[in-house]
Amino acid sequence: MLRNSVSSLGAALLVLAAVSASYAQVPARPAIATTKVPGTDNVYVFRNGGHQSMFVVTSEGVIATDPIAYGRPTGGKAYVDEIRKVTDKPIRYLVYSHHHYDHIAGGRAFKDAGATVVAHRKAKERLDVLADPHTVPVDEVVGDEGRVIRLGGTILELSYKGLGHSDTSLVMRLPQERIVFVVDTIPVGTVPGRGMIDFHPLEAEKFIADVIAMDWATLIPGHPGPGDRLGTKKDAEDQLQLLRDASAEMKVLARDGKCWDQGEKEFKLEKYAGWPGYAAGLPFIARRYCGLWGRGT
């Protein structure tokens, strides 16, 4: 009996060893990666963990966006170091996509390199009040009419489409390369989650429809899509449909008087159950739309 137990324990340990060996063979995903956007020779995606941002190298300098260094004290410097592997041109601009720290904390290294920090005017208002010690203040604001940055033959359009995810989001478009960088309002191939905390549901539908109507072929999201793939118009259309489906589903529950608890419990989006982030995101989506249709918020 004792012998049997010992041998089965031995067998279990062997299985465990085999399992950990097979895990060890899977190469760990590096925390930081810089990739050139296919079809371009000067547009890059910098990824740090689960966040990413775009930078553009021109003959007159670099336009960088979101430092993505919240909780990563060396993240901003690591980003600058990655840019330095590609070019020694000066970093002229650091453009914030919106005011959330997980995307814009850590800009000190860019400021030290001489960059001008650009953001929507409401982002500056919010950041000035919050005064986060890790987030570099805005130098130049973009009004609701937008702004165009021209540098070394590159054109970068900054457009304000109103409320969506946050009230400070800029849509960044490279018209020549037909690329847009849109953070958090249009996830690529994933179900939205915590981003719903600062989300204006009805306005976001208009925001996304407006972005779809713009001329572009490639969407760089602020969080990596499945397999790190970039997005297409189809992805934006699918995300818009997901929001419309969520809205319609909760509207019925809410008008039956089921918000908050029962409505949130019954809320499902089976069509999207196979998408990454479904289980984690569902409660956040439910809460936001329960607020909209059940409370008018």
CB 37 within 8 A of CB 45: yes
CB of 27 to Zn ion, least distance (A): 30
Q: Which is nearer to Zn ion, 92 or 223 (CB)?
A: 223
Count, residues in the chain: 297
Q: Which is nearer to Zn ion, 103 or 258 (CB)?
A: 103
Q: Does an H or E element contain 286, and which? A: helix 278-295
**Number of Cβ within a 10 Å radius of residue 241:** 14
CB of 79 to Zn ion, least distance (A): 18
Residue type at 176?
Answer: Q
- The answer to whether the Cα torsion of 53, 56, 57, 62 is positive or negative is negative
Strand order in the sheet with 170-174: 147-151, 154-160, 170-174, 179-182, 218-221
CB of 230 to Zn ion, least distance (A): 19
Site track 181-210 with Zn ion (rule: CB under 5 A), x = hit: ---x--------------------------
Q: Which residues in 89-148 contact Zn ion (CB under 5 A)? A: 100
Q: Which is nearer to Zn ion, 223 or 258 (CB)?
A: 223
Q: Which is nearer to Zn ion, 77 or 100 (CB)?
A: 100
Q: Which is nearer to Zn ion, 72 or 258 (CB)?
A: 72
Q: Is 177 in the site for Zn ion (CB under 5 A)?
A: no
CB of 245 to Zn ion, least distance (A): 22
**What is the size of the binding site for Zn ion (CB under 5 A)?**
2
Q: Which is nearer to Zn ion, 62 or 69 (CB)?
A: 69
Residue 18 CA to residue 22 CA, distance in Å, equals: 6
Instruction: For residue 22, give Cα distances in angstroms to 29, 31, 74, 123, 274.
Output: 15, 21, 32, 47, 26
- Burial letters 152-182, b for 16+ CB under 10 A, else e: eebebbbbbbebbbbbbbbbbbbeebebbbb
CB of 285 to Zn ion, least distance (A): 15
Which residues, listed in sequence order, are joined to residue 61 by a DSSP beta bridge? 58
CB of 152 to Zn ion, least distance (A): 30
Q: Which is nearer to Zn ion, 177 or 184 (CB)?
A: 184
Give the DSSP letter string of 183-242: -SSS-SSS---GGGGGB-HHHHHHHHHHHHHSS-SEEEESS--GGGPPB-HHHHHHHHHH
Q: Which residues in 28-67 contact Zn ion (CB under 5 A)? A: none
CB of 166 to Zn ion, least distance (A): 6
The residue number with the shortest CB distance to Zn ion is 100
Q: Applying CB under 5 A, which part among 3-11, 82-90, 179-187, 279-287 lies near Zn ion?
A: 179-187
Footprint on this chain of Zn ion (rule: CB under 5 A): 100, 184
